[in-house]
A and B are shown apart, each in its own frame.
Chain A
Amino acid sequence: MVACLSAAATVSRQATITLARRISSAPWTLSRTLKATIHTKTTNGQPLGSISTSGRISQLSGYHNFVRSTPLILTGDTYTHDQLSHSHQGFSTSSLAFNKKPSSSSASSPEFLFQNPMLNKMKPKLQSMKDLHDKILKEINGTSTSSADDLSPTKFAELTKQLHDLSLITDKYSEIESQIRDLFSLQQMLDDPLTNEDKDLLEMTQDEIKTTTEAIIDGENELLLAMVPKDLADEGNALLEIRAGTGGDEAGLFAADILRMYERFVERQRWRWEEISKTHDGLGAIKDATIAITGNNVFGHLKYESGVHRVQRVPATETQGRIHTSTITVAIMPQPTEVQVQIADADVRVDVFRASGAGGQKVNTTDSAIRLTHLPTGIVVAIQDERSNQKNRAKAFTILRAKLYEREREKLALERRDSRRAQVGGGSRSEKIRTYNFPQNRVTDHRINKTLHELESVLDGAALPEFIQALRVEEQTDLLMAMNDEIS
């Protein structure tokens, strides 16, 4: 059998093949598949790669079927936790624990423990989510068979959405559960003297244990993240506001640099970049700028950018070579739809340039500035960039809508504020979040104490995801801690 596998692997070089195998002789009969990863080897036995991609299966179906016809023999001894904790080839499985009933039927699944203690604490919650999921599924299926008036279409849609949201968690949960069982049966294989006699099989099993363990750890992280409460605004579009702060012209030039950084980043993400307004001196420095960014998960990615960004460098205008420090402020706001935020006409005062006289044909003004005043809140938005005041008006309303939405969100956040709140992304506008130090070629994010020594790459938008990723992990950790506090 191993010869067959090797043959298959030799032909299909390059990558790892994921094979699905049904285990019929496992200690408990599981009607599911075991994923076995086989590393491709060259003739001299050196691995070429070890990336497992399930997409390859279709390409390799010929081999797959061939291998499938070969029986894989497993013996059915039971293992205790102690036996499992024997470390194999350096990767630890010590925290895996099975409380397995010997020779149990397929109906009763063995209890298992997650690697992550937090998930173990959340198990009752996960189980209740799973129950709810099954209950909704039953309800929906019941509708399709019986008369249609059981569920109203809106109720049906609501349940479907709920089911979808739940399944993101429960599917992951079930997947991890089965992976842990896979790992257990692999451990059994490893301890089988028969396996140990065959060097190739031993190696294969060890590799398989390694990948399964990794998959479990990854899966558990994903499950944890899936359980973190979501901000619906994450999925939507965002407005980016940049304002030059202290530091005069140098701050304006740095504002332009940061604007360019986000523009490059947005290009890389294949989002849409639409300039709403920009005040500049015509020579590269920017006083302020507002950009509408459209795409998937724009706010979710950029929300950590809000705050004060600081630059330390020798300005082009500096004759004595002194390092200046200047700051700019970045604000990211979710961009609501017209449905999410409805503004009553009566609440807004619209001011336009008002020529003396009666206007119309008599006056040809190029002053197309629009100023909106939202009377209930006092928020004022002025736009003058476009040559048409209709366009300026539309842009001003976009900004006003975002500001009102942001205000509402802040109010809700304050109401909900508990002892532990995610600090990243929830911090104040005036918080100093990042320093761009040119002489030292570094960028430091002060919230997570992360420094990248590749300033150019950050300003080019290429390295920005490194910060975003780290900040996201930080925020999610914060949220998980809060969840943990809730549980205990």
Chain B
Amino acid sequence: MRPAAELVRIWTEALVPVCNNSKSHASQELKWLLQHAKHQSCASLAVRSDGAAAGGGGRGGLSEKEIELMQVYVDERVRTRKPLQYILGTQPFMNLEILTRPPTLIPRWETEEWTARLATALESNPLIFRQHHQHTSSTTTPRFNILDICSGSGCIPLGLASAFPPGSSRLFGADIHPKAVQLARDNTAHNQALLNQNLVSFHQADLLAPNAVEKFLSWLDVDHDSSGIVNSGTNSSSGMGKGQGRYHLIISNPPYIAHSEYDTLEPEVAQWEDPKALLADQEGLVFYPRIAHMAMELLHRQPAASRSSSSSTSSASSTAVGEDQNNKHLMRELDPRTLERINSLDRDEQQHNNHNINSNHNSGNSKRAQEGEEIDDDDVERTWRNGPELDRVKIPELVFEIGGDHQVDFVSAAVRQAGFRRVQVWKDLADRARCIVGAR
């Protein structure tokens, strides 16, 4: 027992610097590494069916194999600053276990938090799921279509699928990186039993490509079984004619870190995770207006909230971007500089004027614009406290994860400008603005 105790002490101390200098957190990380080492050595013993070597394990003791593994893990963790999740190979996400492999972005706790919140909001909303069940009689045609752009490890669509009613949804993930797509597919297989027979598939696509919208829409018409990617054992005829298929919800957690911030990132992030999954031009904002506009084309013509009373033909015209009275009204109230930024980003991402936009996000003007419209501090607060109950955004149609409070003004303006009339900010547990949620 003595040498093991000594080792534990040495390892814990070694881990302290990579654990925010917290001893209690270091011993927590050590516990997870030890569990992993024990698990790994058990697995390898089982393969060798070598019963004799299992001896040292007992109460608190460590086998040679375990010590060997631990020394590798602690060294990787401390010297190369390898993220714990890459060493362990997994990260819990809602009730799933998401596989993690460099360089695909490791799911963050903030993402898990809002995904769980979104799942509850949607799942408990009778306008979405009960309605679908009534219409689809006995056949379990998946009807709620969700697209996650920049899906990475796939945690968001998989997490949602695990929380939705059985067979109620189809969830699609798009990522530009083939390694991410592969990992997301592995994750689908890894968590298959927990997905409630909801169809989840991942595809490689570049959201900046000119035909991106067509590509995204084409997935809805593909028979899942023939694609060979998807998972359902049952025959899933989509039940929708070609071209008719559209999405009900667009989600994205795009790269949002500014290049200027890259140097401030801790080594676990900067040295191990894909910069393409982290960094975005235009102060980290380049993707938001683009995706918001694409979302308008990808979503059903009629917002989900008004589809139940489908007689209102007047609402159809209001969704056309730019021509809507509401939108003009909105634009007038926006801070001119913010508006300029959106337009310039929208027109041409390459020719953007970088120094022009620095540090004017929190100007008083734009704050006033917010307060006049849907977002104000009260609203944010209330939404947060009320949990999944969404007052203004009854059914979210666009959900963006953002980098923090400093991106609220720009992203919410971009979302409104694209044609989403109701916009909300969701805060995370650390009280930071984490999501911009839009509905038409």
Q: Complex: how many Å from CA A101 to CA B106? A: 87
Check A360–B92 contact: CB distance below 8 A.
no
Q: Complex: how many Å from CA A345 to CA B34? A: 36
Check A283–B261 contact: CB distance below 8 A.
no
Q: Complex: how many Å from CA A355 to CA B20? A: 9
Check A365–B109 contact: CB distance below 8 A.
yes
**A345-B386, A359-B404, A388-B93 known; A284-B32 Cβ under 8 A:** no
Q: Taking the complex as formed, is A282 at the interface, i.e. its CB lies under 8 A from any CB of chain B? A: yes
How many residues of chain B get a CB closer than 8 Å to chain A's CBs? 61
DSSP majority for the A interface? loop
Q: In the complex, what residue of chain A is closest to B18 when comparing beta carbons?
A: A366
Check A360–B269 contact: CB distance below 8 A.
no
Check A364–B60 contact: CB distance below 8 A.
no
Check A360–B434 contact: CB distance below 8 A.
yes
Q: Taking the complex as formed, is B190 at the interface, i.e. its CB lies under 8 A from any CB of chain A? A: no
Q: Taking the complex as formed, is A387 at the interface, i.e. its CB lies under 8 A from any CB of chain B? A: yes
Q: Taking the complex as formed, is B59 at the interface, i.e. its CB lies under 8 A from any CB of chain A? A: yes
Check A284–B92 contact: CB distance below 8 A.
no
Check A350–B84 contact: CB distance below 8 A.
no
**A282-B30, A283-B5 known; A360-B94 Cβ under 8 A:** no
Q: Taking the complex as formed, is A194 at the interface, i.e. its CB lies under 8 A from any CB of chain B? A: no
Check B1–A283 contact: CB distance below 8 A.
yes
* 1/0 contact string of A375-394 vs chain B (CB within 8 Å): 00000000011111111010
Q: Which A residues are CB-close (under 8 A) to B432?
A: 358-360
Q: Among the listed B109, B261, B268, B430, which residue makes an inter-chain contact with A388, where contact means beta carbons less than 8 Å apart?
A: B109
Check A282–B113 contact: CB distance below 8 A.
no
Check B113–A360 contact: CB distance below 8 A.
no
Q: Among the listed A281, A362, A363, A387, which residue makes an inter-chain contact with B32, where contact means beta carbons less than 8 Å apart?
A: A387
Q: Which B residues are CB-close (under 8 A) to A366?
A: 19, 25, 28-29, 32, 83-85
**A361-B256, A366-B85, A384-B24 known; A282-B109 Cβ under 8 A:** no
Q: Complex: how many Å from CA A388 to CA B84? A: 13
Check B116–A361 contact: CB distance below 8 A.
no
For chain B, residues 1 to 40, give those with C-beta under 8 angstroms from any C-beta of chain A. 1, 4-5, 8, 19-20, 22, 24-25, 27-32, 34
In angstroms, how far is the closest chain B Cβ from the Cβ of A80?
70
Q: Complex: how many Å from CA A391 to CA B108? A: 14
Q: Which A residues are CB-close (under 8 A) to B111?
A: 360
Which of the listed residues A281, A284, A358, A361 has the most CB atoms from chain B within 10 Å of its own CB?
Answer: A361
* 1/0 contact string of A289-318 vs chain B (CB within 8 Å): 000000000000000000000000000100
Q: Taking the complex as formed, is B193 at the interface, i.e. its CB lies under 8 A from any CB of chain A? A: no
Q: Which B residues are CB-close (under 8 A) to A439?
A: none
Check A390–B116 contact: CB distance below 8 A.
yes
In angstroms, how far is the closest chain B Cβ from the Cβ of A183?
57
Check B385–A345 contact: CB distance below 8 A.
yes
Check B430–A354 contact: CB distance below 8 A.
yes
Q: Complex: how many Å from CA A359 to CA B8? A: 31
Q: Complex: how many Å from CA A354 to CA B430? A: 6
Check B113–A281 contact: CB distance below 8 A.
no
In angstroms, how far is the closest chain B Cβ from the Cβ of A343?
12
In angstroms, how far is the closest chain A Cβ from the Cβ of B100?
10
Q: Among the listed B27, B113, B268, which residue makes an inter-chain contact with A390, where contact means beta carbons less than 8 Å apart?
A: B113
**A284-B60, A366-B29 known; A387-B94 Cβ under 8 A:** no
**A282-B8, A284-B59, A388-B109 known; A364-B430 Cβ under 8 A:** no
Which of the listed residues B22, B109, B277 has the most CB atoms from chain A within 10 Å of its own CB?
Answer: B109
Q: Which A residues are CB-close (under 8 A) to B28?
A: 366-367, 369, 384-385
Q: Which A residues are CB-close (under 8 A) to B385?
A: 345-346
* 1/0 contact string of B73-94 vs chain A (CB within 8 Å): 0000000000111000001111
Q: Taking the complex as formed, is A170 at the interface, i.e. its CB lies under 8 A from any CB of chain B? A: no
Q: Complex: how many Å from CA A354 to CA B22? A: 13
Q: Taking the complex as formed, is A357 at the interface, i.e. its CB lies under 8 A from any CB of chain B? A: yes
For chain B, residues 373 to 427, give those with C-beta under 8 angstroms from any C-beta of chain A. 385-387, 401-406
Q: Which A residues are CB-close (under 8 A) to B113?
A: 389-390
**A345-B387, A366-B84, A367-B20 known; A361-B108 Cβ under 8 A:** yes
Q: Taking the complex as formed, is A118 at the interface, i.e. its CB lies under 8 A from any CB of chain B? A: no
Q: Taking the complex as formed, is A473 at the interface, i.e. its CB lies under 8 A from any CB of chain B? A: no
Q: Taking the complex as formed, is A352 at the interface, i.e. its CB lies under 8 A from any CB of chain B? A: yes
**A283-B4, A364-B106, A388-B109 known; A352-B429 Cβ under 8 A:** yes
Q: Taking the complex as formed, is B305 at the interface, i.e. its CB lies under 8 A from any CB of chain A? A: no
Check A361–B257 contact: CB distance below 8 A.
yes
Check B266–A363 contact: CB distance below 8 A.
yes
Q: Complex: how many Å from CA A361 to CA B34? A: 27
Q: Complex: how many Å from CA A393 to CA B430? A: 13
Q: Which B residues are CB-close (under 8 A) to A212?
A: none
Q: Among the listed B19, B106, B264, which residue makes an inter-chain contact with A357, where contact means beta carbons less than 8 Å apart?
A: B264
**A359-B110, A366-B29 known; A281-B8 Cβ under 8 A:** yes
In angstroms, how far is the closest chain B Cβ from the Cβ of A223?
47
Q: Which A residues are CB-close (under 8 A) to B105?
A: 361
Q: Complex: how many Å from CA A280 to CA B269? A: 30
Q: Taking the complex as formed, is B255 at the interface, i.e. its CB lies under 8 A from any CB of chain A? A: yes
Q: Complex: how many Å from CA A284 to CA B108? A: 32
Q: In the complex, what residue of chain B is closest to A317 when comparing beta carbons?
A: B1
Q: Among the listed A364, A388, A389, which residue makes an inter-chain contact with B269, where contact means beta carbons less than 8 Å apart?
A: A364
Q: Complex: how many Å from CA A109 to CA B106? A: 79
Check B403–A358 contact: CB distance below 8 A.
yes
Check B428–A359 contact: CB distance below 8 A.
yes
Q: Complex: how many Å from CA A352 to CA B261? A: 23
In angstroms, how far is the closest chain B Cβ from the Cβ of A256?
8
Q: Complex: how many Å from CA A355 to CA B268? A: 14
* 1/0 contact string of A137-159 vs chain B (CB within 8 Å): 00000000000000000000000
Q: Which A residues are CB-close (under 8 A) to B428?
A: 359
Check A362–B261 contact: CB distance below 8 A.
yes
Q: Complex: how many Å from CA A345 to CA B256? A: 31
Check B269–A363 contact: CB distance below 8 A.
yes
Q: Which A residues are CB-close (under 8 A) to B116?
A: 390
Q: Complex: how many Å from CA A389 to CA B108? A: 10
Q: Taking the complex as formed, is A368 at the interface, i.e. its CB lies under 8 A from any CB of chain B? A: yes
Q: Which B residues are CB-close (under 8 A) to A368?
A: 109
For the A-B complex with A361-B253, A367-B28 known, give 11 more contacts whose Cβ atoms are closer than 8 Å: A359-B434, A360-B110, A360-B432, A361-B108, A361-B257, A367-B19, A369-B25, A387-B92, A390-B94, A390-B109, A390-B112
> What are 9 A-to-B residue pairs whose CB atoms are below 8 Å?
A284-B59, A345-B385, A360-B256, A361-B278, A363-B269, A364-B106, A367-B28, A389-B109, A389-B112
